[in-house]
Amino acid sequence: MSELELFYADAPADIALADVDLSRLPRHISMIMDGNGRWATSRGLDRSKGHVAGIDALRDAITASVRLGIDVLSAYAFSTENWKRSKVEVDLLMKLFAKTLVAELPLFYQENVRLEILGDLSDLPKKTRETFEYGISETSGHTGMVLALAVNYGSRREIVRATRELAGLVAQGELDIEAIDEESISSHLYTADLPDPDLLIRTSGELRLSNYLLWQIAYSEIYVSQLLWPDFDRWELLRAIRAYQARDRRFGGVKA
């Protein structure tokens, strides 16, 4: 039995590894991890416990994606709007980010995962920012799956940032305004070196994009899971992939 088969042993009744075509996997899977607070509240726990449980779910998703051979896994960790939450919760999240990244680096080494950050780290507390920068540096030579964490990320802000950069090039005479096209805009986004997501997964049953990768997911297939994020596991990932493989991806055209 292969390592992948062992990882996906003891399948539940409704899904198994055999239900997905390993030759047609999405290249880039992106996830909006939603429901940590509700998961904790429903159990009579402090919201912080939900964020801790959410880390376990992300770890499982990372390991599963590596085993399956996914090229890129991206995840929405902290939005530009999340600063509106209570200072206590924001401070806890910032400390948790730093603590978790240090704790998970051995996994990144073991699985050859390269870390990227989508978003503006300059607003983060010094220790959290430096920890992320350390993780990026430590894994920069890794050649396996890319884990792209969206931290202090907002898609509208990202597009404004790209527009300003292009406008600056035009003003300096380094770029003709007629040369601005979809490719040039994409090249100035945080995801410039990544393929667009093939599959976008949102947990907790919410039907909104929450200002996440609005440019990049123009033709992504969307899978909405009713599970709260801490309950998301390798089996739900398989269900999402199975649903993705059942879609007819025409990208605005029609099949011959």
Domain count, the chain: 1
For residue 123, tell me if it sits in a domain.
yes
Going by C-beta distance under 8 Å and a sequence separation of 6 or more, which residues neighbour residue 115? 101, 108, 132, 135, 136, 138, 139, 146, 147, 148, 149
Q: What torsion, rounded to 10 degrees, do the Cα atoms 146, 150, 154, 156 define?
A: 0
Asked if residue 150 has pLDDT above 80, the reply is yes
Q: What is the CATH number of the domain that holds 227?
A: 3.40.1180.10
Residues carrying an active site annotation: 34, 82
Tokens of 77: 């960790």
For residue 43, tell me if it sits in a domain.
yes
For residue 168, tell me if it sits in a domain.
no
For residue 46, tell me if it sits in a domain.
yes
Instruction: Provide the pLDDT for residue 137.
Output: 98
For residue 13, tell me if it sits in a domain.
no
pLDDT in tens, 156-199: 999 999 999 999 999 999 999 999 999 999 999 999 999 999 99
Average pLDDT taken over every residue of the chain? 96
For residue 16, tell me if it sits in a domain.
no
Are 206 and 33 spatial neighbours (Cβ–Cβ below 8 Å)?
Answer: no
pLDDT in tens, 77-107: 999 999 999 999 999 999 999 999 999 999 9
For residue 192, tell me if it sits in a domain.
no
| pTM listed for this prediction | 0.96
Tokens of 84: 């509106």
pLDDT in tens, 6-62: 999 999 999 999 999 999 999 999 999 999 999 999 999 999 999 999 999 999 999
Residue 88 domain boundaries: 25-153+198-245
For residue 159, tell me if it sits in a domain.
no
Partners of 115 in the β-ladder: 147
Query: For the residues 229-234, what does the mean pLDDT come to?
Result: 98
